[in-house]
A and B are shown apart, each in its own frame.
Chain A
Amino acid sequence: MVAKKEMLTGNSSAAWGVRLAEIDYIPAYPITPQTEIIETLAKWISDGVMDTRMVTMDSEHSMITAAGAASATGVRAFTATSSQGLLYGFEMLYTVAGWRVPLVMVNVSRGLSAPITLEPDHNDILSARDSGFLQIHCETCQEVLDSILIAYRLAEDERVLLPVLVNMDGFHLSFTREPVEIPDIEDVRRFLPTYNPKHAFFKASQPMAQGIAVLGGPIYSYFKYQMHLACMKGLEVYKEISKEFEKVFHRSYDTVEKYMTDDADYILIMTNSFSTLGKAAVKRARERGIKIGLLKLRLLRPFPEEDLKNAIKGCKAVAVLDQNIGVGKGGILYPEIASTIYNEQKRPVLLSFIGGLGGKNISESEFDFIFDNMIKAAETGKAPAPQLLYTETEWNEMEKLKKMAGKPIFW
């Protein structure tokens, strides 16, 4: 069998990644827009093309517990969720990471309630940024499939042994079909051999207690800091793995993706599927003679500080487009990037934008607004106040809705 190309949704790409990784165990719980992953896998298991045990659970909390516990017995486990589901199982994210087990989990991003919605932004996945899960964020369906294979290699590497979350946007990727190359299983086996657990497994002759309680700060500090060191080690390991991936599959995935950044005076930083819209905007601006590029962050945990610094070296202004909102502070990635470059001798002006919340479209005029602001900021050396991307038309539409809802109310 050779690699074949097919039209796949982000969800079916994820399912293909899981099928090719030859997973042993999948605990599942449904939630839009993730359910299609589990449905696809369930169909394959029922058709007999996958030799995997699937169990439907009573909640995401149980589901993540079961997946982590299975990983602790030394089998390869997978699970997926989204938004409210991720939050419902949140306690177990920290717990499973603390067990140092190589679980891979997909999150399909969806805005958080309330108000309840279905379309994507990244408050769900970024809420898990400090949990100890490594995070890979995807722009295309191909990236989803490939990232799952990379994620298992990364999680199972003895220098890391931490779980990994692979993220894709709901609707804009999860339900969108585009051509995806499905790798040959033999190539996948070469890249991702059977997991051979060294530290956490289930063997009657070798009893062990995992996930033990510790009392006393020094012990706790030791374990927590070791998690941090292992996660940071993940940067180097990721680079090794992505090089190997490229050798086998001829597709390359660095920690960050540089789009027209080489000679750029201005760089826009984005993540996930809306980066495609950013690239189109950058291309249009280039045609108008603006020296701009786009930097897409793929690896969010561990945070690729050096690669980021190198990519923006020498440019005049950088804009961070956060598709999330830290209520009471602003964009979540902006301060992460600010702290990365703060101690540099020469650093660009750093601008903050928040856009695409709840899947709101980011139009050409909004990208142009960012670019104009970057040029102005580079000239004056001053960054404008953080800005929400929201247009006059959208505001007028919102005014109409408020009227329909009977607002304002006075008493």
Chain B
Amino acid sequence: MLRIRFHGRGGQGTKIASRLVGTAAFLDGLYAQDFPLYGAERRGAPITAFTRISREPILERGVISEPDILIIMDETLLDDPMAMPLTGLKEDGVIFLNTTHSPAEAKNRYKIKAQIITLDITKIGIDTLGKPILSTLAGGVASKIAGIREDSLKKAIEKELSEIITDSELIKKNIEASLYCFNIIKPVEVKTSEITHKGSTVISVPFEAASISTPSVNTAGNIPLRKTGNWRTFKPIFNYELCNKCMICVARCPDGCIAVRNERGFPSIDYDNCKGCLICIDECPVHAIEKVREVHTW
């Protein structure tokens, strides 16, 4: 059985990527199962999805804690203690990382032992689809690594996208972009091995007083410590020569990231927390804000 785990951010297409691989494997005549995990999901937040592919009926459910293949659609997740995408990867597993860097650079930077494949699929998405939406691109990459036939991938994209997109031109572009990714990735051998983590000893849970055992938090709130700046794909940048200080951007920023912090009275952006939603660009009446693609690496 091949166990594939996808990590991305809300809005990138993580769930659809896992579905494409599931449907493609199913069309290839294999047993398949796919499943996203999300709770209070929202654009930008870490998302995980899973696909299992097997020649035998699948007697597993729920999260994949020991993947054979890891598809990391957003490099910034590697530094996110809430996501920890490398957790549980098998030693002979394969990682795909969406990055501008080479496999050797990524291996060195993130201390990865496993086989690693890299490709800047964000750039491919922007160039071919006009948006950093990665579902079909990551699906193409994952299908290649999983050894799925090109034709099954193509049919899977047609099927899955026609349920959510009405624009047939956009579906065609997605197929082209996905097959481009599929074909640019060299075939790899994924050695599947059995799950080694069997779980630890069962213990007797002791009684604890209500001061400990109630679902309450006694520490001060820590939301300000959780920076969301690395959610961005595009960075909004002010051009103060055009800015007329109308403050519409200040009012419209949904996260309160824009404020007047300098003596000249111009608004500025708190980049530690700006999620890159780009509402400010849409709202600015004098077009004083531009967007620049940001690569959050070293």
Interface on A for B, CB 8 Å cutoff? 7, 114-115, 118, 171-173, 175-179, 273-274, 276-277, 279-280, 283, 359, 361, 363-366, 368-369, 387-395, 402, 404-410
C-alpha gap A410/B22 in the complex (Å): 52
Residue ID in chain A nearest B60 by CB atoms: A280
C-alpha gap A408/B214 in the complex (Å): 11
Q: Are A365 and B32 in contact (CB under 8 A)?
A: no
- What 18 new A-B contacts, CB under 8 Å, besides A114-B215, A405-B218? A7-B19, A118-B39, A171-B35, A171-B37, A172-B61, A179-B26, A179-B32, A280-B59, A361-B65, A363-B197, A363-B200, A364-B195, A364-B199, A365-B199, A366-B202, A390-B202, A407-B211, A410-B211
- Chain B neighbourhood of A173, CB < 8 A: 61
Q: Are B31 and A279 in contact (CB under 8 A)?
A: no
- Chain B neighbourhood of A175, CB < 8 A: 35-36
Q: Which of A176, A280, A368, A408 contacts B212 (CB 8 A)?
A: A408
Ordered by A's residue number, 16 sampled pairs between the chains whose C-beta atoms are within 8 Å are A172-B35, A175-B36, A177-B33, A179-B32, A274-B61, A277-B60, A280-B59, A280-B60, A359-B62, A361-B63, A365-B202, A366-B199, A388-B205, A392-B201, A405-B216, A408-B209
- Chain B neighbourhood of A394, CB < 8 A: 200
- Chain A neighbourhood of B205, CB < 8 A: 388, 390, 395
Q: Are A406 and B200 in contact (CB under 8 A)?
A: no
- Chain B neighbourhood of A277, CB < 8 A: 59-62
Is the C-beta of B204 less than 8 angstroms from some C-beta in chain A? yes
- Chain A neighbourhood of B218, CB < 8 A: 405-407, 409
- Chain A neighbourhood of B62, CB < 8 A: 171-172, 277, 359, 361
Is the C-beta of B23 less than 8 angstroms from some C-beta in chain A? yes
Q: A177-B19, A177-B33, A406-B218 are in contact. Are A387 and B204 (CB under 8 A)?
A: yes
Chain B contacts with A in 36-80, Cβ cutoff 8 A: 36-37, 39, 58-63, 65
C-alpha gap A175/B35 in the complex (Å): 6
Q: Are B203 and A409 in contact (CB under 8 A)?
A: no
Q: Are B32 and A389 in contact (CB under 8 A)?
A: no
Q: Smallest Cβ distance from A141 to chain B, in angstroms?
A: 10
Q: Per-residue CB proximity of B178-198 to A under 8 Å, as 1/0?
A: 000000000000000001011
Chain B: interface residue total (CB-CB under 8 A)? 37
Q: Are A365 and B22 in contact (CB under 8 A)?
A: no
C-alpha gap A410/B215 in the complex (Å): 16
- Chain B neighbourhood of A177, CB < 8 A: 19, 22, 32-35
- Chain A neighbourhood of B195, CB < 8 A: 364
Is the C-beta of B217 less than 8 angstroms from some C-beta in chain A? yes
C-alpha gap A388/B218 in the complex (Å): 27
Q: Smallest Cβ distance from B170 to chain A, in angstroms?
A: 19
Q: Are A405 and B219 in contact (CB under 8 A)?
A: yes
Q: Which of B26, B63, B198, B215 contacts A7 (CB 8 A)?
A: B26
Q: Are B199 and A363 in contact (CB under 8 A)?
A: yes
Q: Per-residue CB proximity of B134-158 to A under 8 Å, as 1/0?
A: 0000000000000000000000000
C-alpha gap A29/B39 in the complex (Å): 19
Q: Are A276 and B202 in contact (CB under 8 A)?
A: no
Q: Are A389 and B58 in contact (CB under 8 A)?
A: no
Q: Smallest Cβ distance from A364 to chain B, in angstroms?
A: 4
Q: Which of A114, A172, A365 contacts B201 (CB 8 A)?
A: A365
C-alpha gap A283/B57 in the complex (Å): 13
- Chain B neighbourhood of A276, CB < 8 A: 59-61
C-alpha gap A198/B58 in the complex (Å): 45
Q: Are B198 and A176 in contact (CB under 8 A)?
A: no
Q: Are B61 and A176 in contact (CB under 8 A)?
A: yes
Q: Are A404 and B23 in contact (CB under 8 A)?
A: no
- Chain B neighbourhood of A359, CB < 8 A: 62
C-alpha gap A379/B61 in the complex (Å): 33
Q: Smallest Cβ distance from A319 to chain B, in angstroms?
A: 13
Q: Are A365 and B198 in contact (CB under 8 A)?
A: yes
Residue ID in chain A nearest B211 by CB atoms: A409
Q: Are A393 and B61 in contact (CB under 8 A)?
A: no
C-alpha gap A280/B59 in the complex (Å): 6
Q: Smallest Cβ distance from B64 to chain A, in angstroms?
A: 11
Q: Are A115 and B215 in contact (CB under 8 A)?
A: yes
Residue ID in chain A nearest B220 by CB atoms: A406
Q: A276-B60, A279-B59, A280-B60 are in contact. Are A176 and B199 (CB under 8 A)?
A: no
Q: Smallest Cβ distance from B37 to chain A, in angstroms?
A: 7
Q: Smallest Cβ distance from B274 to chain A, in angstroms?
A: 27
**Of listed A179, A274, A390, A404, residue having the most chain B CB within 10 A:** A179
**Of listed A177, A394, A402, A409, residue having the most chain B CB within 10 A:** A177
**Of listed B37, B63, B203, B205, residue having the most chain A CB within 10 A:** B203
- Chain B neighbourhood of A369, CB < 8 A: 202
Q: Which of B58, B200, B216, B217 contacts A178 (CB 8 A)?
A: B58
C-alpha gap A393/B203 in the complex (Å): 10
Residue ID in chain A nearest B34 by CB atoms: A177
Q: Smallest Cβ distance from B293 to chain A, in angstroms?
A: 32
**Of listed B34, B62, B65, B217, residue having the most chain A CB within 10 A:** B62
